[in-house]
Structure formats: C-alpha cells, structure tokens
Amino acid sequence: MADEPANTVLYDVSEGLATITINRPDAMNAMNTAAKVALRDSLRDAAADPAVRAVLLTATGRAFCVGQDLKEHVATLAATRESGGGNALSTVREHYNPIVRAITGMAKPVVAGVNGVAAGAGFGFALAADYRVVADTASFNTSFAGVALTADSGVSWTLPRLIGPSRAADLLFFPRSISAQDALELGLVNRVVLAAELAERAAAVARTLADGPTVAYAALKESMAYGAGHTLAQALEKEDELQTRAGASQDHVIAVEAFLAKETPVYLGK
C-alpha cells in the first residue's frame, strides 16, 4: 500500500506500562507478515522486560484488527500452488500461536483497548488479553467460517470458556458482527466506554495494573489458566504454591504495612 506506515506496530514503555499499538489503519489493522512479526516480537519484549509491569494492546484508526491480511494471503496461496509445496497457513504456527502465547503466558497483566472491529485473529488477540476495555462503537466477529477456515489465535479455547460451548458454536458456525453492548452482555468484554474516551479509559485501567502488585497479578493469571484444565484438588495445590510465592513478595509486606497504617500502598512490582 502506498500509505503503509513505516512502523506496523508501535511500542512504547512509560513508568512500567508498555503500550503496543497495531498501526495499519488504512488496512483496518489487518495482519500482514511485517505486522505479525512486529507484534509477536513487541509482546515478547514486553514479557521479558523487568521494567514492564503491565501491557496495553490497542490500535490506531477505526479497527482494532480484522485478522489476516487477505490480499497478502491470496498471494501466498497462489505462490504455494505454483511451487507445489509449502504451507500457506504456516503463519498460524509461526506468528499467531506465538502472539497468543506471549499475551497469555507473560507474568504480567495485558489489557486490550478495543477501539473498533476485532475479527478473526484480531478477535483472538482481544480474547487472549486478561482484561478488555471496549469502545461502544466496536464490534466482534469470528469470521473464520466466512472464509472457509477454522478458528485460530486461541479462539477455540478462549471463546467457549468465556461464553460456553453452545454460544461459541453459534458465533463460530454463523459468523456475524456482535456489538460492544451485546459482547458485554455475553461476557466477552469487561467494560464498554464511549469511543471518544476509549484511549484514556483503557490506559487508566492498564496504568492501575502497572502500579499494582505484579507478582500477585502474575499468580492470579497463572492460577486461572491452570484451573481451566485441572481438577479442584490440583487447583488447590497450585493455589498453595502460588500463594507461597505471592506471600514472599515485597509487595505483600508493603500491602500489609499500608493496610495497618491506613495508607495507600506504593508497590514495587516485586
């Protein structure tokens, strides 16, 4: 595209908060290879940086992310047919899976600030986040069956767990636009705000988490993911392990001392 931005993903760290912004507004933030690599690597950088205590994932323009760049995908399909080898959808393994693993696996909270339509893989990125703040003009669409594909970017795992298998099947087999308000009622998102306030409100949520007890947040994130696939007895053992870790943190001592002194704790994130 003639107006393709120089940086398909913007990355900024300020006072413990990493803001990662998908930046292909004229393509509705569709994911071409450059954007996928940049998003994957930015998330990995945020996960590895001890100075980062929370992440805000958002986008420029009127879309959050409409998923795969189909223009690039068509070209890849044609090249695959001509060569007689390769895998036009190796991007799932090389890009989408690592992106979702980086979001869900990092030991710090990730907030999705959904400014517009989130479809396909973009829907998956939003669902992978720990918390979703959504503009009232935003919408969601699974999209996959509409282009004769199955779910990727973790949607087959996250969607049924958020809204149940029956509703998930309905949205996957019959892809359609779901409004922000309907998404809230279904349990897909945490907060719906005015579109004009989305940037400020999402950043405020992420900032609150960046200033919070990072070790405790990491333990909460890990315990919920663990509990989704284990028995109650196993989850109780995991809670014991993680509570021991959280209880040994400096932030726990700070929190208790602040509570007793009737003061607001100032956490160190460790």
Which pair of structure tokens corresponds to residue 268? 């160190």
pLDDT at 270 > cutoff 50: yes
Report the relative pairing of strands 178-179 and 139-141 from DSSP bridges: antiparallel
- Rounded mean pLDDT, 157-171: 97
Burial of 84-123, coded b for 16+ CB within 10 Å and e otherwise, reads eeeeebebbeebbebbbbbbbebebbbbbbbbbbbbbbbb
Residue showing tokens 């509703």: 167
- pLDDT tier at 85, thresholds 50, 70, 90: low
**Residue 12: strand pairing partners:** 19
Distant-in-sequence, close-in-space partners of 234: CB < 8 Å, separation ≥ 6: 226
Has this prediction a pTM greater than 0.85? yes
- Rounded mean pLDDT, 12-27: 97
| Helix (H) or strand (E) run with residue 13 in it | strand 9-14
Environment class of 245 (CB within 10 Å of its CB; exposed 0-12, middle 13-18, buried 19+):
middle
pLDDT of residue 259: 96
